[in-house]
Chain A
Amino acid sequence: MTKEKKSGTRVGPKWGQVTRRTFLQGVAATSGAVAGSSLFGDLITLSPLPGESPKPLHEDWIPTTCWIGKQECGMLARRINGHVVKLEGLPAHPRNRGTLCPKGIAQIQALYDPNRVKAPLLRTNEKGVKGTWREISWDDALDLVAERIGEARDRDPSLFVWQKGRSKAKPLYDKAFVGATGALKLHHGAFCSDAGYRAMEYTIGMHGVMHPDFKHTQYLLSWGWNITGGGGNKYCWLTWAQQLVEARQRGLRVIDIDPRLRSAAHFADEWLPVRPGTDMPLALALCKVLIDQDTIDRPYLTTYTNSSHLLQEDGSFLRDDEGSPLVWDEETETPRPFGSEGISPALEGVYSWDGAQVRTVFSSFKDHISTATPEWAAEITGIPANQIRKIGRELGDNAMIGSTIEIEGHTLPYRPVAIMAYHMSQQELGFQALRAMTFIPMLLGAIGAVGGQFTDLTWKEHKNWKKLDNIEITDTPNITLKGSKYYPINSNNSSLVAHVMKDPLRYGVSGIPEVALLHHVNPLGSFPDQKANREAYAKLKFVAVIDPWLSLTADLYADVVLPASTLEKYEGPMKGTDQYEDAVALRIPPMEPIFDTRSEIEIYLDLCERLGVLNGEKGYLALVNKNLKLKPPYTLPLDKKPTPREIYDIWAKGQGIKEGVAFFEDNGVLLKGAVPASKRYPMAMDTPFGGVVPHRLYGESLLGYARKMEERGAPEIYWRDYTPFPVWRTPTLEGSPAKYDLYLTSFHKIEFKQSRTPIPFVRELAPTQVLEINPSAARARGLEDGDRVQVESHNAVTGETRKIETTVRFRESIRPDVVAMPHHYGEHTKHPWVDGTGPTPNTLFFTGEGYVSNTADQTYLVKVRVSKAPRR
């Protein structure tokens, strides 16, 4: 594995830094300074320290991929005598360009951390309390896990559930292992943005939430985007940070819509401190301003959205005999199928046809938001009406509707306005709020335009575009409630799973899983409603956890813990694109594991072997072949258990890389060149938007689901938000008594975001939990900065209250009616830098009915009261 030294200076001229060459020139001019290699080559001998004997030191550099975050930055591991002494950014990697975030650098401590799970553990006490453990061999651990999985599968495969937190090799985990074992798969459902994903998939057919085209965007609504502390869509942080800074240097304006200014810091030109959970009315009011001032892109709306579709009085589309939706052709003054050649669809209008009145979707939308004035929204959101009008005017001005730009020979619409939104969608009305927010770039014609609104890194239809429009509602759902009459649009990231596990019959669920394999997931620590999750996981008969550290979930409910490697393994393949330049990378072990840990791939190969599902046409290996898209002659033989390195060697050769995995061991990343306009900009594709049209301003199927849900007896609380246009209503939490007078929300810190790990270097930067509070709100409660306080949350549906204690920190950069707590405290145990750092805000949030709606995801918002902690 020994490699030549890979790199000197990390930062290319792009970021305004010294290049290695120019810097060396500077050094060469220095008398007395010794340039590079003569002082420190591959083999050097250092003067011994007192008491040490001289020894040769061998230095080498191993390229690899960061393990911490979700965006998989390229890294170079500097090794001395085979041990990693530093991790640096890989200069060639498009995502990070030679740099790392604080966690990326800090994770060197994880490689050696003696507080990791160092060998398989078997619980020796009862579950539900802190575990006591006995180390066992891998053979014994895998035998036991396989036996329990096998026993459950033999009775019914759905009795076995596989749940993931961060999956970093989906073809081998989510697809092959789940496929081979027939497990019921649960996603992490934690600090993600499921409501946002579903809203985008349903509305414009793309996977992701909302991000700009940073090379071209001029005006950005940073809507709940934690610019300085979190990731935004697709990346965990660093790529967006770099692109934002470059865009700012050329004059991007940033409007920050967030209860906390700290999230955007000095990058915000204007701060709209919105009341939490009221994003939908703000979006609807902005839509009304855009329509009233006539800054809308009529050709886009009539051609590529369902705005021109004709609605009947029952809310369904007027259709022809083939079922095609009809639009009003102004030439012939008759309804004609949408998309017909040579017609002139009317965007607005009410028409009589066949003895009934029909109106366009757009006219209906105008009526729908006729009362959504800036004054109305100001009352709800706390943002002054004139400021809403001003933002609407600036959106309209900056969108430059009608303008075009030449990119790679394509003449494309140029609309340099966009929204960045991600985690903020995890609120009660998240799905519909994100729909309403998407209508803003839709009205401006900015969807997929140059400088406009993007959701994925290339323009590619997501399977949910059609699926979410054609859900067959079932009376017998599984524990995810996917397709149920309660939460039909629901990925399997459901926060309701815990509630279903507690009382399955209430939801028509016939059985719950008995055996669970938790893959880097820590529901008790990282999901809201910790109490509900505790009760649910207590019902599982056998729980095996794959994790490098002892998570709170493992400590309380695991029967067996399988210690996973962190960076020290082969894993991938990982996309390396920064949305403009394409790349693919692998994780390469920079050194042998110190402890008796294994990679997930090794664990799954061994488990599948024991379960008898490794070989054969439907076995794990066949599914790896299928999901890694391996084609002969580069396929895995089905009769031989490969090593992870062999798998990636075959995969790499199948990619046309003749050196195989050695290419990545040498280089870390394969650069694939610029992403062409035809993949990135939907109007540069052979078929505009890749045929994913019309974008759904009107959600006809949502209305259909509401009716079916009601018909099947679901109470109104479940179907009331399945409306074709987003409808504002007072959120459930407002039903809490007046004494719960503050909104509690949560946020990520750059020190921990995505990390899931107890790393001392970053723990030192922010060691304990705090409650951010505005000084005026604090003093009104007799509190001073640094006081210990009690925070009590209230469930407006059940009346339940929950309490924690923490320390207040004064911030003028937060609304006086809002308090906020960061995540990633109190998630792991048995670690000197983590024990006692809690509590997590997830102890205070609720996830049951009322606190989540359409998509059954998560809510990080609750009403609380804050008072001085009682003296002990």
Chain B
Amino acid sequence: MARYGMVIDLSRCHGCRACMVACKVENNTPKGSFWNYVFRFEEGVFPETRVSFLPRPCMHCDNAPCVKVCPVGSRHKTLEGLTLTDWDRCIGCRYCEVACPYGVNCFNWKDPKKNRYLDWSDPSLEGVELSHGMPYANPDLDLPQGSQGRHTAGGGRMKGVVEKCTFCVHRLEKGLLPACAANCPVGALVFGDLDDPESPPSQLLREKPHFRLLEGEGTEPRVYYVGGAPPTTASRQIEAVKARVER
């Protein structure tokens, strides 16, 4: 069985944030919700300054603290290594959000249908069919996923539930890469079966020194980084995107 994971090559990343937008379009996330986030960092004092980038999807931890604290079994691990949310079960307690040391969870303070960037109910769009409150809804997100047929791809989300990166579970089932990895213009996001020694991410891990974020937390992330170093307390975030602030 494939057990998925991602290797992010920081030596390639331009910090362009195309992965963030690709994720938004693919997963129809509402305004202010970023399942994938690209940090832009600065360190040092002029002229000894360094600038770097760090994409941060959900780590899909093998020892996921969010799964442990979920009181209703909504947040769960799959046999393929994914950490997913069952929207039908989520009660919006936000324990997962508190437990996650990576800050990947986004709570829907608003009805996602009414949080779609533009007013798609404008009369001039008459005749354009809206689904989930927008004209470009991805119908795959409504499909039940996996052998258990659970709603984990994002289509059933509503006000008061937590959402996060699914590694595009609906695309994996079609044999496609997650949207962020498929689109990355510079091939910085390398996705595949970490149990297969010949998969591109496994090869990369063999070839290059790597690290995981907050390794000491014992979360066992399935996202690895090569080609750079982890951020430190000296890393200052620049050009931060204000996410999850609107209520």
Contacts and interface: CB of A to CB of B under 8 A. Distances in A.
A26 B31 CA distance: 34
Nearest to B125: A114
B135 A86 contact: no
B184 A11 contact: yes
A205 to B, nearest CB: 32
- Which of A23, A109, A262, A760 has its CB near the most chain B CB atoms (within 10 A)? A23
A617 B142 CA distance: 58
B187 A16 contact: yes
A104 B22 CA distance: 10
A293 interface: no
A80 interface: yes
Interface string B201-237: 0001000000000000000000000001000000010
Contacts of A273: 46-47
Interface in A810-829: 811-816
Mostly helix, strand, loop or mixed at chain B's interface? Answer: loop
A615 interface: no
Interface string A138-162: 0000000000000000000000000
Interface in A61-120: 80-81, 83-89, 96, 98-102, 104-106, 108-109, 111-115, 118
Contacts of A136: none
A30 B172 CA distance: 11
Contact of B118 (A96, A114, A242, A262): A114
Contacts of A83: 128-129, 135-136
B129 A81 contact: yes
A662 interface: no
B238 interface: yes
Nearest to A119: B124
Given A241-B185, A760-B118, A765 B11 contact: no
Nearest to A108: B136
Contacts of A88: 182-183
A750 B14 contact: yes
Interface string B114-146: 000111101011001100000111111011101
Interface in A280-320: none
Interface stretch (A31-39, A449-457, A713-721, A792-800): A31-39
A813 B173 CA distance: 44
A796 to B, nearest CB: 27
A100 B241 CA distance: 20
B244 interface: no
A214 to B, nearest CB: 13
A88 B180 CA distance: 11
B120 to A, nearest CB: 7
B136 A84 contact: yes
A764 interface: yes
Interface residues of B, number: 80
A18 B17 contact: no
A238 interface: yes
A761 B51 contact: no
Contacts of B44: 812
A57 B140 CA distance: 11
Contacts of B51: 261-262, 264-266, 813
Contacts of B93: none
Given A112-B136, A228-B14, A761-B25, A271 B173 contact: no
A57 B139 CA distance: 8
Contacts of A774: 46
A262 B16 CA distance: 12
Nearest to B45: A812
B18 A105 contact: yes
Interface string A259-272: 00110111000010
A47 interface: yes
A114 B16 contact: no
Nearest to B199: A26
Nearest to A832: B118
A118 B15 contact: no
Interface stretch (B56-64, B65-73, B100-108, B188-196): B188-196
Contacts of B196: 26, 29
Contacts of A101: 16, 18, 185
Contact of B182 (A10, A266, A767): A10
A32 B144 CA distance: 13
B161 interface: no
Contacts of B52: 265-266
A751 interface: yes
A9 B176 contact: yes
A115 B120 CA distance: 10
Interface in A729-767: 750-751, 760-762, 764-767
A96 B42 CA distance: 29
Contact of B183 (A22, A80, A99, A761): A99
A100 B11 CA distance: 19
A594 interface: yes
A171 B53 CA distance: 42
A266 B187 contact: no
Contacts of B177: 9-11, 17-18, 23
Interface string B68-89: 0000000000011000000000
Nearest to A50: B156
Contacts of B42: 262, 811-813
B118 A115 contact: yes
A870 B208 CA distance: 54
B175 A23 contact: yes
Given A15-B187, A47-B142, A266 B175 contact: no
B16 A241 contact: yes
A27 interface: yes
Contacts of A10: 177, 182-183
B206 to A, nearest CB: 13
A809 interface: yes
A15 B186 contact: yes
Contacts of B15: 228, 265, 750
Contacts of B24: 761
Contacts of B144: 47
Nearest to A78: B138
Contact of A266 (B47, B50, B238): B50
A253 interface: no
B125 A100 contact: no
A166 interface: no
A34 B45 CA distance: 53
A832 to B, nearest CB: 7
B49 A751 contact: no
Contact of B140 (A23, A27, A34, A40): A40
A16 B191 CA distance: 10
B46 A813 contact: yes
A109 B119 CA distance: 11
B31 to A, nearest CB: 7
Given A46-B143, A764-B117, A99 B128 contact: no
A47 B142 CA distance: 8
A85 B138 contact: yes
A812 B137 CA distance: 41
A238 B20 CA distance: 16
Contacts of B247: none
A760 B173 contact: no
A842 to B, nearest CB: 22
B191 A18 contact: yes
- 7 closest A-B pairs by beta carbon, nearest first, are A15-B187, A114-B122, A32-B147, A760-B117, A265-B51, A99-B185, A102-B18
5 contacts: A46-B139, A99-B183, A114-B124, A264-B51, A761-B25
Given A111-B136, A273-B46, A750-B17, 10 more contacts: A9-B177, A11-B187, A22-B200, A27-B175, A30-B80, A85-B138, A114-B119, A114-B120, A266-B53, A833-B118
Interface of A: 8-11, 15-18, 20, 22-24, 26-27, 29-36, 39-40, 46-47, 49, 57, 80-81, 83-89, 96, 98-102, 104-106, 108-109, 111-115, 118, 227-228, 237-238, 241-242, 245, 248-249, 261-262, 264-266, 271, 273, 594-595, 750-751, 760-762, 764-767, 774, 776, 809, 811-816, 832-833
